[in-house]
Structure 1
């Protein structure tokens, strides 16, 4: 009986540790992506993404309608790698992380700065997949606006 109780206690306390490890790995993947962007280091950015990552934005058009805009990750990285005077700094807050087996979702409000100048804000939503090389971003979709930023 004593062994059964000890085994159950070990099981109960080890399950959150596994979840924390996945959550930490997920956060680190997203952080690496943005650290790479701040450093204009596309190799660092690539280390955080899957080969066929999809990059999209939910955009408000001038006529008031909403559109889903798909961007090329290759073009995005070329923009990041192009010499620029100011740092591209996307400051995110990890608001919600959900995990089911090898799939994870991150909901992250952000504020984007060029150097010290505020540009826009919104929410990034990341989908990640656990691979043999760790968590990789497979999908990014965001919103963009100039006001009503989430704190």
Structure 2
């Protein structure tokens, strides 16, 4: 069943109440990053979470795959003078049963300073009535980021 999207360019498929619940989990992750709140961050992840990052170092592609969220939570879940602010646009939510996929464009800022941009892809699973992030994959780049730096 198709439903109205929150933004003109966004696409969403699945029950509207599940779309809202799924995006609430994603937004809670970003709220936890801004707050430097490790408890809030841990609350969004399934115990089996996998973290994947695709980036480029010195012109060579790199792929990092980690089981668990401990490294991520340690990195962004501590209060700091300049908050980590990940801003998202163009949310695409697709849901079928107890699986949900969210694809968003993002720009990351440390305090007021732009850091990088890319795509976040979330795979969420509904377990015991609650949505949790089972996989978080992202790309990181410094090019084609104009939508965030204008």
Bigger RCO (CA 8 Å, 6+ sep): 2
Higher share of residues assigned helix: 1
Match of 2:87 in 1: 91
TM-score, normalised on structure 2? 0.82
Q: 1:125 aligns with which of 121, 128, 133?
A: 121
Structure with bigger gyration radius = 1
User: What are the equivalent positions in structure 2 for 1:130-145 lying under 5 Å apart?
Assistant: 130-145=126-141
Runs of 4+ in 1 over 6 A off after TM superposition: none
Match of 2:62 in 1: 67
What secondary structure is seen at the aligned counterpart in 2 of 1:135?
strand
For structure 1, which segment, 87-96 or 136-145, has the greater mean C-alpha deviation from structure 2 after superposition?
87-96
- Structure 2: where are the runs of 5+ without partners? 4-13
Q: 1:22 aligns with which of 11, 18, 25?
A: 18
TM-score, normalised on structure 1? 0.81
- Structure 1: where are the runs of 5+ without partners? 1-11
Q: Would you say how many aligned residue pairs link Structure 1 and Structure 2? A: 137
